[in-house]
Chains A and B, each alone.
Chain A
Amino acid sequence: MENIYLTIALSPLVGAILAGFFGTILGKTATHMLTILGVLISTVLSLYVFNYHVLEQGEIFNQNLYTWMQINNLNVSVGFLIDNLTAVMLVVVSFVSLMVHIYTIGYMHDDTGYTRFFSYISLFTFSMFMLVMSNNFMQLFFGWEAVGLVSYLLIGFWHHKESAVQANLKAFLVNRVGDFGFLLGIGLVLAFSGSLDYMEVFSSLGKTMNQQLWGLDLITIICLLLFVGAMGKSAQVPLHVWLPGSMEGPTPISALIHAATMVTAGIFMVSRMSPMFELSDVALTVVMIVGAMTALFMGLLGIVQNDIKKVVAYSTLSQLGYMTVALGVSAYSVAIFHLMTHAFFKALLFLGAGSVIVAMHHQQDIRKMGGLRKKMPITYWTALIGTLALIGFPGFAGFYSKDMIIEAVHFSTLPYASWVYVAVVVGVFITAFYSLRMFFLVFHGESRVDAHTAKHLHESTPSMTFPLIALAIPSLLIGYFTIEPMLFNGWLDNAITVVPSHTSMAELKHEFFSAASMISHAIQTLPFWMMIGGVASAWVFSIYRTQWADWAQKKCHRTNYVLESLYGFDRFNDIVFVSGVKKLGNLLYKVSDVGLIDKVLVNGSAKLIGFIGKIVRPIQTGYVYHYAFFMIVSLLIILTWALFAGDNPLLEL
């Protein structure tokens, strides 16, 4: 089996290297054939691994393959931990990646960076595999940084666009904030358990959990720091600001990286660390609340967006919030379940949006579309499936996963769970509203397409429509077939730990009969009617009485302003972090290099240092005596401190 795992990880890497170094020699066709072949091999083998581990209940594989370095107590290895959780992730990542590779042939057809792009996405696939297959924190962190780096490269792929460069800088910096939290968490794990191996760390948790730090349980601090990492990667409030900006990159990577795989790395990581998070109710509560805020407030922003990709991006943020909420209420398997269904239908929606964008000659404003249904039938029907899955229409994949999250919150006993419940239920209405608003504006109603574009409007090429169809099938069916085994028949039991006092999952199991019965009971549930309400309002505002939308916008101009300025997160960051740090730098620069001493101290002590001043005065600046004076003052301060610090004997004399 070891060779199979290695092949899964390495075949995209081989593709990436060939495409990256020999792409220009190989030519376009050979490049995309090679990289697609690499990912195809991974996909087939991932399915085999899935079958072996999940369906045939094969042994967990946990082995170090290569010792990277061994210094005192620090052992860093490359190793694989393959259990059912990994197997599910492998299938999701490889399948979506394969679809995106195929789609790229059509989407990037005329781009000058064609081979470079294939190299990047294959490299990304490799990094993502290393991340999910890791059996230790260090490799996890490396995969984490590697996917971040490729994402950075791809957001700025069109680097002649100033906005793309700004966006990738932002993504990089925001992710650094998350990463350093993550790194500190890993540092604490290492300091207190002496190992970076998952299994060793988990088995030593008994010792760790009793310790205190800063008045909190150590385990709480570790979990919170790790979660900061997850917040960066999975774009949770307030570290979400980079994800909408990342839409500057080409659409295939929005589908692959910023919807289906990389951004869910945080969700995966928290699920992987479930034995740790389960020990801290405080951390879980924070996770749940952050998730709920993201789910609700980011969804609201989706309503006022007019860029087709931005709408889908905000919906991704909101759905990531849902997954995080599920993590918070200890329903890890539900989070992974939603991660899986979301990967399929959101990749589908993004690729559908890409198809529309290409047809519209890179026009992304949904107010300038409309009536595309007739011209682009395949895109229309697949987008419909994707949208229905996203809003949780009974029977579609998203219906099961989202309903389970809402139910899990309902059963949660954590503090504030009832508020979170309200947030996620209202979120259903909002999701339905913005999704259908976009859907109606793009595909239905009067055509607002300009005459030139309208003439050339046609369905996309087969290499782009095939992935749409291939992703529509799981978006429609996968929920129905996998809900029962995944949530209630123990598919993920060997990877996820839930302590008995967190009863959400147990209650869910108690309530659950079958996937079919969920559909028939849907009509009696609140989320269903919220969804219907959302669809109906979207229809009213964007088809039936479009002037009402303008009217509402005028009436609620304050709310509108808040939403359109994205709650001011960006402005806050600009003012506080960007210019604030610059100002602080300027201030300290003046203080240390020129200011403070000159104005405050020197005048009074001019005589003391006068003779040094005389020596150096001819040398233009004359500031050197400030420096000297600064040194002497520092010396005096330190001496005073040495005198009074601690158990100084002089005080006893």
Chain B
Amino acid sequence: MNNFIEFDTSSLWAALPEIFLLSAIVVILLLDLFLDKRFKQVTYYLTQLSLLISGLLAFNLIGHPQTIIFSGSFVLDNMASVFKVFMMGATMVAMVYSRHYLRAHSLFRGEYFVLVLLSVLGMMVMISGYSLLTLYLGLEILSLSLYALIAIARERADAIEAALKYFVLGAIASGLLLYGMSMIYGISGSLNISDIASFASSANLASRETLIINFGLVFLVIGIAFKLGAVPFHMWVPDVYQGAPTSVTLLISTAPKIAAVAMLVRILVDGLGSMHAYWSDLFMVLSILSIALGSVVALMQTNIKRLLAYSTISHVGFIMLGFATGTLTGYGAATFYMLVYVLMSLAAFGVIILLNKKGFEVDQISDFKGLSKHSPWFALMMLIIMLSMAGVPPLVGFYSKFFILQQVISAGFITIAVIAVIFAVISAYYYLQIIKSMYFDEADKDITIHASIDMRLILSINAILILAVGLFPDFWMTLALSLF
């Protein structure tokens, strides 16, 4: 790493999806300036198009052997490509849902889409980052766009408050993360993941070196835990989920989780995998705390966005539990869980957004009352989503939990599995509450649905996928396992 970065243009193809997206962002940003108000839809379609193309470019790179470019600070491997494809897909779906929400609440502005694209770019950099600095760069691009996105509803006090909270706490978390990175850099002499990996796994580490790595590790884990929203670094999650415009909440709760998991894999598995013994206990504790707190506190919520925030915290606990096992299959199980979670979360927020209409913000569980009478189809979709989140077979949410628990038991942590299961039982209650209010309560206000056909169609496909992947999980599990 001592030589200057050589700019070798022949290897640029490995970063083609990122490069394309960056150019697209610039074009869209400029174009949007000159677009007449009547043609604002163009920005939306261009956004979808550039996400699609960028996703196809990433898809095209699946199967390439590992390629490391930019002097070891950027990696292209199967995990990167697969994650990027999923993230693009998730963002595209999120954009379809967002459009409905933005129109209903007069937030339809060009900068929304540009900021989303920027955050996507940040996530891509995080997924492919192979040095601590690149990873941090990606994280900051993502975070800054998200802060701005939350605050896009300028006249809403709670949105501004959420943005500021997220910003302040995010800054602290970034500080901690950087501090950890500097420790690792100081002791290993390199920012590159591969150099760090070979340093950490060398047999003759002095005990003081181990200690410093260990301390750096704690800071890194905290930075990642904050991004994932694991207890005790979860405080921002409920407030931000509740305060942000629902379409932004939807975005925050889906794609960035993929990026955060990628960063986790890069730093902790690829880089410090040999120090696994040090971070797995920590993960165990954080994940059990998350599952417990997420499951129990959600019982008290009446705001559905807040409820889903706590549900996210408990899902994150399960994901971290998979990583805590320290086996490749465990990592695969965690990745599978993460993809499943993204699928479910998209659909859940999709249904919430679907019920929004002009001047009517849906954020209470009671807003779902009597949905089965007015729209039996979407009530059924929500039923599938909620049962899947509760982990009822044969929906996909069951497999993801089962797979994690199986790995946890195989790794010998039976007590942990029992605790996780007990809280999973408790969490079934609040998912059932939503089902109850949809099916057994009478509607107390008008809940007719006004949504375009693409929104209805994509949402239906999204929810049916939860059932379909549950019926045929083979392919997805194999895919998740093949990444490690």
Residues of A near any B CB (own CB < 8 A): 68-72, 74, 141-142, 145, 149, 159, 165, 169, 172-173, 176-177, 180, 183-184, 187-188, 190-191, 213-214, 581-582, 584-586, 588-589, 592-593, 612, 615-616, 619-621, 624, 626-628, 630-632, 634-635, 638-639, 641-642, 645-646, 648-650, 652-653
Contact = CB atoms under 8 A, between A and B. Distances in A.
Contacts of A188: 409, 414
B282 A191 contact: no
A585 B293 CA distance: 8
A214 B417 CA distance: 14
Given A142-B393, A620-B157, A639-B215, A70 B474 contact: yes
B466 to A, nearest CB: 16
Interface in B424-472: 424-426, 428-429, 432, 436, 439-440, 472
A74 B406 contact: yes
Contacts of B296: 581, 584-585, 588
Interface stretch (B140-148, B164-172, B245-253, B351-359): B164-172
A174 B92 CA distance: 40
B238 A615 contact: no
A381 to B, nearest CB: 41
A147 to B, nearest CB: 12
A69 B236 CA distance: 39
B481 A190 contact: no
Contacts of A169: 432, 436
Contact of B477 (A71, A173, A586): A71
Contacts of A650: 211
B418 interface: yes
B459 to A, nearest CB: 22
Contacts of A638: 218, 221-222, 282
A380 to B, nearest CB: 39
Contact of A645 (B168, B233, B281): B281
B415 to A, nearest CB: 8
B176 interface: yes
A173 B429 contact: yes
B409 A619 contact: no
Contacts, number: 155
A586 B300 CA distance: 6
Given A74-B406, A169-B432, A630-B235, A616 B168 contact: yes
Contact of A187 (B417, B428, B439): B417
Given A184-B417, A634-B233, 20 more contacts: A69-B473, A69-B474, A70-B474, A142-B393, A165-B436, A165-B440, A187-B402, A188-B409, A582-B300, A584-B296, A585-B300, A588-B293, A588-B296, A628-B172, A631-B173, A631-B226, A634-B232, A641-B282, A642-B214, A649-B210
Which 7 pairs between the two chains have the least Cβ-Cβ distance?
A649-B207, A69-B474, A627-B235, A585-B299, A634-B232, A585-B300, A191-B409
B421 A180 contact: yes
B390 to A, nearest CB: 9
B233 A631 contact: yes
Contacts of A645: 281
Given A173-B428, A183-B421, A589-B297, A619 B164 contact: yes
Given A588-B293, A627-B235, A638-B218, A652 B207 contact: yes
B67 interface: no
B426 A183 contact: no
A188 B411 CA distance: 11
Contacts of A165: 436, 440
A176 B428 contact: yes
Contact of B165 (A70, A190, A627, A652): A627
B394 interface: yes
Nearest to B393: A145
B198 interface: no
Contact of B218 (A173, A626, A635): A635
B70 interface: no
B58 to A, nearest CB: 25
